[in-house]
């Protein structure tokens, strides 16, 4: 749960503690600081969805006070930091450019009050932050045919690169826990009987995605995607890659489209290339492992075996051919699909020949989903 809490903190909202106002005459300002004076809220402004908040900011210069106010407003709106580029002349902000992760940016602002305080300036301003996931809106447009502001173009390009790499780190943090913490495995009552001189042991298990893991993966995909959730046949063609995810409680699928294939490749490498396997361990009364064996599941091989029925249920396997999957590297509507609502009921069958002390010492059974590399270590 540690990583999931970290992910949600990175993509969630920043909460600002309100403090009682202090007399402005005695304020010393070693560093810029901003506080929210109102509770931020999302509303419609000129047919666009914006986040509004009133902010009080103090800093050594008007430019720093504005930048700090913008940073707080955007942080509250999208839960990330901003890069504020500003230029002040004659105590007036004559240029503002806000670039920050998640493509949220300041659309408008209005200064309500500006006063001089010891060591600097204090402002109260209304700030409106537009929520846009379209990174192209931040691309630089030259002012003339033969003019290009290389400094600004570089800063904006670096900001977009930082957005991508920050999202990569978030996704990598979640994928690092696959498959060890990605699944819940339940073991039902074990049964056995003797056939000839062989003891047949049947261990029913149920495997499903861990809800916390799927929710964490969902949050990262929503926060980092370039395209929205609407889907049609042109959707896949418009982007380099599309990740589909369906949680247990969702009736509809969620799509995250990307302008490059990097994140989809990360997911495919973690899910498919890790070659998840079922690790069975039988333990004795001292909780020591006395028997270990690994099993492959076609349901975790990345193949596409169909969708659930209209009632949200997958068909039972037929003649050992899967009728559903945990994830797929080739679904018809995406580059990679993750079926968080899929659940597999399977029975592990063991055959122990002749007289064997393992049988007498058996006390408990543990079943986990592990990376194939862990199974390779088993002799």
Residue whose structure tokens are 């003019």: 147
Could you tell me if 220 and 79 lie in one domain?
no
89-93 contacts: CB < 8 A, separation 24 or more? 91/62, 92/62, 93/62, 93/63, 93/66
The stretch 354-360 carries a mean pLDDT of 73
Range from 98-107, 122-131, 185-194 carrying the lowest mean pLDDT: 98-107
Range from 129-143, 151-165, 210-224 carrying the lowest mean pLDDT: 129-143
Of 146, 171, 196, which one is at a domain's C-terminal end?
Answer: 171
What band does 185 get if pLDDT is binned at 50, 70 and 90?
A: very high
What band does 118 get if pLDDT is binned at 50, 70 and 90?
A: confident
Q: How many domains does the chain have?
A: 2
Residue 376: is its pLDDT beyond 70?
yes
Could you report the per-residue pLDDT of 319-328, keeping only the tens digit for each?
888 999 999 9
Could you tell me if 202 and 275 lie in one domain?
yes
Query: Is position 16 within any domain?
Result: yes
Query: Is position 88 within any domain?
Result: yes
Residue 305 tokens, joined: 């075996």
The stretch 343-368 carries a mean pLDDT of 85
The region that residue 354 occupies, defined by phi over 0 for left and psi between -120 and 50 for alpha, beta otherwise, is left
What band does 91 get if pLDDT is binned at 50, 70 and 90?
A: very low
The pLDDT score that the predictor gives to residue 141 is: 42
Residue 126: is its pLDDT beyond 90?
yes
d(CA 337, CA 135): 24
Cβ–Cβ under 8 Å, residues 279 and 369: yes
Of 107, 140, 171, which one is at a domain's C-terminal end?
Answer: 171
Give me the domain span that covers residue 347: 182-376
d(CA 36, CA 31): 17
Could you tell me if 189 and 162 lie in one domain?
no
Could you tell me if 130 and 237 lie in one domain?
no
Q: What is the DSSP letter of 194?
A: E
Query: Is position 359 within any domain?
Result: yes
Residue whose structure tokens are 């020591």: 288
Instruction: Select the more confidently predicted residue: 146 or 221.
Output: 221
Cα separations (Å) of 65 from 50, 62, 113?
Answer: 22, 5, 12
Residue 135: is its pLDDT beyond 60?
no
What band does 82 get if pLDDT is binned at 50, 70 and 90?
A: very low
The pLDDT score that the predictor gives to residue 86 is: 44
- Helices 211-224, 150-175: crossing angle, 10 deg rounding: 170
Instruction: Select the more confidently predicted residue: 49 or 244.
Output: 244
Query: Is position 177 within any domain?
Result: no
Could you tell me if 314 and 264 lie in one domain?
yes
Query: Is position 160 within any domain?
Result: yes
Instruction: Select the more confidently predicted residue: 277 or 33.
Output: 277
Q: Which residues contact 172 (CB under 8 A, 6 or more apart)?
A: 266
Q: DSSP 3-state helix, strand, coil percentages of the chain (rounded to 5)?
A: 30, 35, 35
Closest CA to 55 of 77, 41, 40, 42: 40
CA dihedral 185, 186, 187, 188 (to 10 degrees): -150
State the pTM of this model: 0.62
The pLDDT score that the predictor gives to residue 11 is: 33
Query: Is position 176 within any domain?
Result: no
What band does 143 get if pLDDT is binned at 50, 70 and 90?
A: very low
Residue 144: is its pLDDT beyond 70?
no
Residue 29: is its pLDDT beyond 50?
no
Cβ–Cβ under 8 Å, residues 251 and 230: no
Residue 130: is its pLDDT beyond 90?
no
Residues in the chain: 379
Could you tell me if 271 and 300 lie in one domain?
yes
Sign of the four-CA dihedral 103, 128, 24, 13? negative
The pLDDT score that the predictor gives to residue 95 is: 35
The pLDDT score that the predictor gives to residue 206 is: 95
d(CA 276, CA 76): 39
The pLDDT score that the predictor gives to residue 114 is: 93
Could you tell me if 113 and 219 lie in one domain?
no
Could you tell me if 153 and 186 lie in one domain?
no
Residue 65: is its pLDDT beyond 60?
yes
Q: Which residues contact 346 (CB under 8 A, 6 or more apart)?
A: 204, 205, 206, 207, 297
Instruction: Select the more confidently predicted residue: 231 or 96.
Output: 231
Cβ–Cβ under 8 Å, residues 118 and 27: yes
Cα Rg of the chain, angstroms: 28
Of 115, 145, 171, which one is at a domain's C-terminal end?
Answer: 171
Could you tell me if 152 and 186 lie in one domain?
no
Closest CA to 228 of 132, 160, 139: 132
d(CA 11, CA 5): 10
Q: What is the distance in angstroms between the CA of the first residue and the CA of the last residue of the chain?
A: 32
Residue 171 tokens, joined: 């996704």
Query: Is position 371 within any domain?
Result: yes
Residue 182 tokens, joined: 């990605």
The pLDDT score that the predictor gives to residue 20 is: 36
Residue 128: is its pLDDT beyond 70?
yes
d(CA 37, CA 18): 8
183-187 and 198-209 beta bridge pairing = antiparallel
Closest CA to 371 of 270, 282, 293, 302: 270
What band does 162 get if pLDDT is binned at 50, 70 and 90?
A: low
Could you tell me if 244 and 340 lie in one domain?
yes
Could you tell me if 240 and 295 lie in one domain?
yes
Could you tell me if 114 and 249 lie in one domain?
no
What band does 57 get if pLDDT is binned at 50, 70 and 90?
A: very high
């Amino acid at each position: 749960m540690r990583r999931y809490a970290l992910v949600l903190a990175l993509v969630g909202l920043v909460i600002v503690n309100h403090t009682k106002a202090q007399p402005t005459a005695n304020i010393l300002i070693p560093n810029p600081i901003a506080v929210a004076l109102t509770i931020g809220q999302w509303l419609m402004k000129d047919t666009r969805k914006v986040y509004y908040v009133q902010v009080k900011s103090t800093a050594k210069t008007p430019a720093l006070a504005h930048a700090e106010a913008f940073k707080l407003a955007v942080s509250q709106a999208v839960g990330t930091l901003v890069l504020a580029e500003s230029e002040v002349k004659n105590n007036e902000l004559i240029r503002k450019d806000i670039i920050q992760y998640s493509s949220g940016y300041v659309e408008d602002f209005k200064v309500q009050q500006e006063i001089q305080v010891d060591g600097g300036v204090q402002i109260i301003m209304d700030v409106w932050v537009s929520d846009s996931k379209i990174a192209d809106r931040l691309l630089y447009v030259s002012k003339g045919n033969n003019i290009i502001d290389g400094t600004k173009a570089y800063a904006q390009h670096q900001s977009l690169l930082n957005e991508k790499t920050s999202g990569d780190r978030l996704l990598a943090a979640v994928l690092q826990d696959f498959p060890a913490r990605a699944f819940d495995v339940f073991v039902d009552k074990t049964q056995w009987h003797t056939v000839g001189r062989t003891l047949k042991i049947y261990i029913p298990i149920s495997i499903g995605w861990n809800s916390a893991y799927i929710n964490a993966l969902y949050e990262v995909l929503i926060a980092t995607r370039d395209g929205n959730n609407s889907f049609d046949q042109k959707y896949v063609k418009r982007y380099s890659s599309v990740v589909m995810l369906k949680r247990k409680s969702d009736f509809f699928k969620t799509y995250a489209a990307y302008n490059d294939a990097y994140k989809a490749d990360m997911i495919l490498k973690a899910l498919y290339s890790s070659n998840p396997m079922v690790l069975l361990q039988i333990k004795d009364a001292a909780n020591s492992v006395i028997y270990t064996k690994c099993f492959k599941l076609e349901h975790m091989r990345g193949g596409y075996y169909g969708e659930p029925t209209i009632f949200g249920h997958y068909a039972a396997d037929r003649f050992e051919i899967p009728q559903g999957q945990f994830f797929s590297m080739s679904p018809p509507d995406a580059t990679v699909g993750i079926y968080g609502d899929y659940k597999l009921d399977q029975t592990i069958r063991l055959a122990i020949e002749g007289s064997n002390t393992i049988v007498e010492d058996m006390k408990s059974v543990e079943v986990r989903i592990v990376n194939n590399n862990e199974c390779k270590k088993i002799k």
